[in-house]
Amino acid sequence: MPAKLSQADFEALVRRAGLPLTPAQISELYGNWAMVEPMLERVRAHGRGREAEPALIFRPEPA
């Protein structure tokens, strides 16, 4: 299944990150982006309640 993100948009992400990737490296990473997208969808979990906190919220008092 192809990635939802277009290769042009993917290349824009790479440029924004400032990584000196060659065209071949960009192509390889873009080719695998289709496996990354479902993971990003999973963690977004549409429907999660507003009150659902991240795992790293901490208590300020000493342990």
Closest separation in Å from C-beta 42 to another protein: 4
Q: Which residues bind another protein (CB under 8 A)?
A: 10, 13-14, 17-21, 25, 28-29, 32, 35-36, 38-40, 42-45, 48, 52-56, 63
Largest Cα–Cα separation, the chain: 51
Least gap, CB of 10 to another protein (angstroms): 8
Alpha-carbon distance values, 43 to 8, 34, 38 (Å): 24, 15, 9
Token code pair at residue 63:
């342990």
| Smallest separation, CB 43 to another protein (Å) | 4
